[in-house]
Structure 1
Amino acid sequence: MLMRYAEKVWRNELGMEGLLNGDLPPETAFEVADDVAVVPTFANVIAFRTGEGLVLFDTGDPATARRNHRAIRAWCADPVRYAIFSHGHIDHVFGVGPFDDEAEENGWDRPVVIAHEAVKARFERYALTKDYNQVVNRRQFANPRFRWPDSYRYPDVTYREHHHLRSGDLTFELHYARGETDDHTWAYVPEREIILPGDLFIWNSPNCGNPQKVQRYPAEWAAALRAMAELDASLLIPGHGVPIAGKERVRTALTDVAEYLESLLSQTLELMNRGARLDEIIHTVRPPEDLAAKPYLRAAYDEPEFIVRNIWRLYGGWWDGDPASLKPPRSDDFAAVLADLAGGADVLADRARRALADGEPRIAASLIELAYRAAPKDDGVRDEHRRVFTALSEAATSLMARGIYLAAANG
């Protein structure tokens, strides 16, 4: 059933939305190849029956851990011998607990967790920034009740560049690559010709520019995708979204995403090398139109403009090239000066309203934020601030932009 759904997604007859919204039976491990099953939750859990126990590639998030466990147990009763983390994001590493509990209850060895060595450092950073991460993720996903976890299942085995795991009749070739994160693992199972890219492929424009998260690495990301494509795999099972079957399709999908990143990277660096400011670059660089139209490169989560900003940060630092932004005034003070020059915060708010009506949302956002900063207690300004950012959130194509605008609208 999952593979039939995947075929329609590949043909652009269905979007990814229905994957988690009732188009498929919930709490189900779908067998996508002999002895290989996928539980399609927010982040996929991939299970391999090896003859010597199960091997999991990623384990899901805190909210779905018990459901994922039930789904896998309905498919296979074998103990979980290994769990591989593709990286340390919490939607991929929080499903081991039910299997640990099960092992203790049955007198089994608990699953051995394998990950890149940098996952430990990520968890330590998460502990230092727990409250900040909670704020960021509440805003990004428009979920005011989201709670950031305060404990983690640390890996039992770590590696630096490559690691080979043998379980039963299957080999898991693990490879390190910086991409969305600095702790990423992708894997190849040669006996089944299966690629497990983790979040290096997510059926969306690559999450390579998230405005609220740490650095991403587009060049290494693209190189990893091209390395995967060279393996000529028959099946790709991504970290998010549906599997892709067929050697030609797998190779095409991987190389398309690599080319998308490489194009944004080369365009940005060319302009940087000419001395362009960030302002010029973000309004100039665009992904190739033919690639942006692919169903697996929709800008529905991250956006190309955000990726460009991330490339600038990686190669050029935080300063955007504008001398006035090097040491800016406090935003409230600057807003008050501009409001005074304009004739009042209400004048700025009125101009923001007209800009929105005239199809100039970026100008509207800038003006209404200035008005709000200048007069945060003015009811008329507050109402217009809410109206502008609500409109921007409704028009946003990416989840990240939508979340930030909605948070601004809600105050």
Structure 2
Amino acid sequence: MSRFSRFSGLLLAASLPFGALAELPEERIEPSINAELAEHTKHFTQKLYKVADNVYSAVGWQLGNVAMIEAPEGLIIVDTGESVSESRKIMAEFRKISDKPVKAIVYTHFHPDHINGVKAFVSEEQVKRGEVQIYAQETLLDNVVTQGALVGPILGLRSAYTFGAALPASDNEGMNGGIGPLAKVEGSTFIAPTITFKDKLDTTIAGLPVQFLHAPSEAPDEIVLFLPNNRVLISAEVDQGPTLPNIHTLRGTKFRDPVLWVNSLDKLRAFQADHMVPLHGQPVSGKDKVEEVLRMTRDGIAYIHDQTVRWMNKGLTPDELVEKVKLPPHLAGYTPYLREYYGTVKHSVRQIYQGYLGWFQGDPVALDPIAPQEKAKRLIEMMGGHDKVLLAAGEAYLKGDYQWAAELASYAISLDNDDKLAREIKARSFRKLGYASMNINWRNWYLMSAMELEGKLDGDAALQMTKGIREAFLSPDMLKNLPVKVFLQNWVTRIDPEKSADVNLTLGFVFPDIGEEWALEVRRGVVQLHQGIPAGTSLKLTFDKIYLDTVISGENSLLKGALLGDVKVDGSLLDIKTFLGCFDFEDAPIALTVR
């Protein structure tokens, strides 16, 4: 008898006692990759592409490409990859072409895979001496220092699931990251920009004319470069490369406005470039081909947006919209640029609805719904009890109805997080769905969630994994650029209302080395940040920003500094201890799937 047959017998024989269902028969689900997704990996074969006379694009070393422009007086490096070690390999390839000094670095936007490898190309000392300039849009530094500060704990964990941070080698063999090879998050570095601009900048760098344009799209600070001498457009992620663009990212981000993105693509079309160098995927050459890729990408995003809004205006809700809005064949089949390797129509549609109308869909039943656990309890009772629900889940699994099997198992898990059989049914369902998925984001989420259900991502393991990912978003080099305001603003969302229920205290912070003064006022569960210290404030801490950097990095604490004399204290130490005790800075394990 096959394993499947034994499983079927256990699940469907109503006469068997439920104890027989305590464990599922052993089943080995072999790792696999969707055939088209596996073929897509070839797009990222390691290669240094030469574009026109003086532009080179390093594809296949990292998730993001690194481009080099050879100017008369030196080199311009556009984006620096996510890993110093891999970027050093790229620099070694560049050095086979030119021994000219690096004169400029360009950050096209703030995402880690475009900025974290900077020290493979230049040192802080070179930048401080003015030998190298770093160009970026004016909001990039703010975006860098805040992306991991406000929602760092949850963003770190969700990013780990998005990138499949804990997946074993067997699940990653032959895989790609949709927009590049698998990401390599190691050795994160950062050097702050030295030259920034708002909308556009026409300049000369190392003897070469360069036109910069702000083109908000995949990131709010996205910029592109146009080289008029040979009509090369470095398109950053306005053209996201060989995939349907990720109009929404599952790890979580602010609203990516499709209308702005379409407008930016039209601005790129206006350059009428002969060559285009995206910072994911291979370069595109020929004026007609560049126009085709940009136009089709633009039309794909526009279609998803416009049809979502069209049907929203007819009253459809997100669950209905995802069944209604589908790309027509000429767009859906435009390979590889509109294939769903990275973005998908379905999760884009949901973001567009949320961006315009928010979470409320119009049925007041959603205004004050029954709590999830209570809802699960009532539904399970209505369906005949726990055993029948899991029998139905198992039957759905055997029929290949994996989504329904996972949904049914979720009710049982909601009531009992330790329900071994429910977790196994859901985990197996997710593995089946994940291995079949052509989209790398969906695949990684399915497989990471399966690991969580299987108990392979316990609390400590998840915290350690998240810590590593968070460093990519907020590395020690980035921490040095964290303004005092951003650090203190983070306290506002860390207030514990129970511990501060009866507390009314204001603590001033004085930073003599940078000439700044701030204060945090606790008012019974609410915190207000003040620029400057309100009159009458008796509690003050005075210390240099340099010491604050060690507090941010975890090397020191304010109480430790006060006791050792590194922090000057005005007022009662007991009151300061009471004040500091009002906040919750503990990073607790987070369950995304088992809840």
Query: With structure 2 as the length reference, what TM-score do the two structures score?
Result: 0.62
- Higher normalized helix content (fraction of residues): 1
**1:232 pairs with 2:272:** yes
Counterparts of 1:15 and 1:169 in 2: how far apart (Å)? 42
**1:183 pairs with 2:221:** yes
- C-alpha displacement at 1:322, in angstroms? 4.4
Aligned residues: 393
Which residue of 2 is the match for residue 140 of structure 1? 162
User: Does the C-alpha gap of structure 1 residues 16 and 84 become closer, same or farther in structure 2, counting only changes over 3 Å?
Assistant: farther
Aligned-pair RMSD on alpha carbons? 2.5
User: Does the C-alpha gap of structure 1 residues 372 and 110 become closer, same or farther in structure 2, counting only changes over 3 Å?
Assistant: farther
User: Does the C-alpha gap of structure 1 residues 370 and 254 become closer, same or farther in structure 2, counting only changes over 3 Å?
Assistant: same
**Deviation string, structure 1 residues 327-386 (Cα, Å, up to 9, x no partner):** 444333322222222233343233233334445443333222222222322222121121
Counterparts of 1:276 and 1:90 in 2: how far apart (Å)? 37
Which residue of 2 is the match for residue 173 of structure 1? 211
Partner of residue 123 from structure 1, selected from 123, 144, 162 = 144
User: Does the Cα contact within 8 Å between 1:205 and 1:302 map onto a contact in 2?
Assistant: yes
- C-alpha displacement at 1:272, in angstroms? 1.6
Name the stretch that deviates more: 115-124 or 96-105: 96-105
Runs of 4 or more consecutive aligned structure 1 residues displaced over 3 Å after TM superposition: 102-105, 107-110, 145-152, 320-330, 353-362
Which residue of 2 is the match for residue 112 of structure 1? 133
- C-alpha displacement at 1:400, in angstroms? 1.1
**Deviation string, structure 1 residues 202-232 (Cα, Å, up to 9, x no partner):** 1100111222221212111111112212222
**1:194 pairs with 2:232:** yes
Partner of residue 54 from structure 1, selected from 75, 79, 84 = 75
Give the 3-state SS of the residue equivalent to 2:405 in structure 1.
helix
User: Does the Cα contact within 8 Å between 2:162 and 2:250 map onto a contact in 1?
Assistant: no
User: Does the Cα contact within 8 Å between 2:233 and 2:275 map onto a contact in 1?
Assistant: yes
User: Does the C-alpha gap of structure 1 residues 103 and 187 become closer, same or farther in structure 2, counting only changes over 3 Å?
Assistant: same
Counterparts of 1:92 and 1:237 in 2: how far apart (Å)? 14
Partner of residue 440 from structure 2, selected from 392, 396, 399 = 399
Partner of residue 36 from structure 1, selected from 55, 59, 70 = 55
- C-alpha displacement at 1:102, in angstroms? 8.8
**1:278 pairs with 2:318:** yes
Counterparts of 1:148 and 1:138 in 2: how far apart (Å)? 14
Give the 3-state SS of the residue equivalent to 1:56 in structure 2.
strand
Give the 3-state SS of the residue equivalent to 2:76 in structure 1.
strand
Counterparts of 1:257 and 1:56 in 2: how far apart (Å)? 26
**1:246 pairs with 2:286:** yes
User: Does the C-alpha gap of structure 1 residues 111 and 15 become closer, same or farther in structure 2, counting only changes over 3 Å?
Assistant: farther
Partner of residue 223 from structure 1, selected from 263, 272, 280 = 263
User: Does the Cα contact within 8 Å between 1:59 and 1:92 map onto a contact in 2?
Assistant: yes
Which residue of 2 is the match for residue 347 of structure 1? 388
**Deviation string, structure 1 residues 255-290 (Cα, Å, up to 9, x no partner):** 001001111111111112222222211221111221
For 1:388, give the aligned amino acid.
S
- C-alpha displacement at 1:104, in angstroms? 4.4
Which residue of 2 is the match for residue 84 of structure 1? 106
User: Does the C-alpha gap of structure 1 residues 37 and 344 become closer, same or farther in structure 2, counting only changes over 3 Å?
Assistant: same
Which residue of 1 is the match for residue 344 of structure 2? 303
Counterparts of 1:47 and 1:15 in 2: how far apart (Å)? 28
Counterparts of 2:362 and 2:405 in 1: how far apart (Å)? 23
User: Does the C-alpha gap of structure 1 residues 234 and 73 become closer, same or farther in structure 2, counting only changes over 3 Å?
Assistant: same
- In structure 1, the gaps of 5 or more residues are 1-11
For 2:423, give the aligned amino acid.
R
Which residue of 2 is the match for residue 66 of structure 1? 88
Give the 3-state SS of the residue equivalent to 2:148 in structure 1.
helix
Partner of residue 324 from structure 1, selected from 365, 368, 374 = 365
For 1:267, give the aligned amino acid.
Q
- C-alpha displacement at 1:292, in angstroms? 1.2
**1:313 pairs with 2:351:** no
User: Does the C-alpha gap of structure 1 residues 196 and 104 become closer, same or farther in structure 2, counting only changes over 3 Å?
Assistant: closer
Counterparts of 1:351 and 1:72 in 2: how far apart (Å)? 59
For 2:282, give the aligned amino acid.
V
User: Does the Cα contact within 8 Å between 2:218 and 2:261 map onto a contact in 1?
Assistant: yes
User: Does the Cα contact within 8 Å between 2:69 and 2:75 map onto a contact in 1?
Assistant: yes
- In structure 2, the gaps of 5 or more residues are 1-35, 168-183, 453-595
User: Does the C-alpha gap of structure 1 residues 165 and 56 become closer, same or farther in structure 2, counting only changes over 3 Å?
Assistant: farther
- C-alpha displacement at 1:162, in angstroms? 0.8
**1:211 pairs with 2:230:** no
User: Does the C-alpha gap of structure 1 residues 30 and 267 become closer, same or farther in structure 2, counting only changes over 3 Å?
Assistant: closer
Counterparts of 2:370 and 2:89 in 1: how far apart (Å)? 50
Counterparts of 1:407 and 1:232 in 2: how far apart (Å)? 43
Give the 3-state SS of the residue equivalent to 2:99 in structure 1.
coil
User: Does the C-alpha gap of structure 1 residues 147 and 236 become closer, same or farther in structure 2, counting only changes over 3 Å?
Assistant: closer
For 1:70, give the aligned amino acid.
A
User: Does the C-alpha gap of structure 1 residues 368 and 62 become closer, same or farther in structure 2, counting only changes over 3 Å?
Assistant: same
Which residue of 1 is the match for residue 409 of structure 2? 368
User: Does the C-alpha gap of structure 1 residues 346 and 92 become closer, same or farther in structure 2, counting only changes over 3 Å?
Assistant: farther
The correspondence of residues 4-43 of structure 1 with structure 2, limited to 5 A, is 15-20=39-44, 23-24=45-46, 29-40=48-59, 41=61, 42-43=63-64
For 1:18, give the aligned amino acid.
K
User: Does the C-alpha gap of structure 1 residues 260 and 288 become closer, same or farther in structure 2, counting only changes over 3 Å?
Assistant: same
User: Does the C-alpha gap of structure 1 residues 110 and 311 become closer, same or farther in structure 2, counting only changes over 3 Å?
Assistant: farther
For 2:50, give the aligned amino acid.
E
For 1:115, give the aligned amino acid.
A
Work out which of the two has the higher radius of gyration on C-alpha atoms and give 1 or 2. 2
Query: With structure 1 as the length reference, what TM-score do the two structures score?
Result: 0.88
- C-alpha displacement at 1:387, in angstroms? 0.9
Name the stretch that deviates more: 339-348 or 220-229: 339-348
Counterparts of 1:66 and 1:332 in 2: how far apart (Å)? 51
User: Does the Cα contact within 8 Å between 1:268 and 1:285 map onto a contact in 2?
Assistant: yes
**Deviation string, structure 1 residues 31-52 (Cα, Å, up to 9, x no partner):** 2321211111321111111112
User: Does the Cα contact within 8 Å between 1:134 and 1:147 map onto a contact in 2?
Assistant: no
Give the 3-state SS of the residue equivalent to 1:283 in structure 2.
helix
User: Does the Cα contact within 8 Å between 1:116 and 1:184 map onto a contact in 2?
Assistant: yes
User: Does the C-alpha gap of structure 1 residues 253 and 313 become closer, same or farther in structure 2, counting only changes over 3 Å?
Assistant: same
User: Does the C-alpha gap of structure 1 residues 16 and 385 become closer, same or farther in structure 2, counting only changes over 3 Å?
Assistant: closer
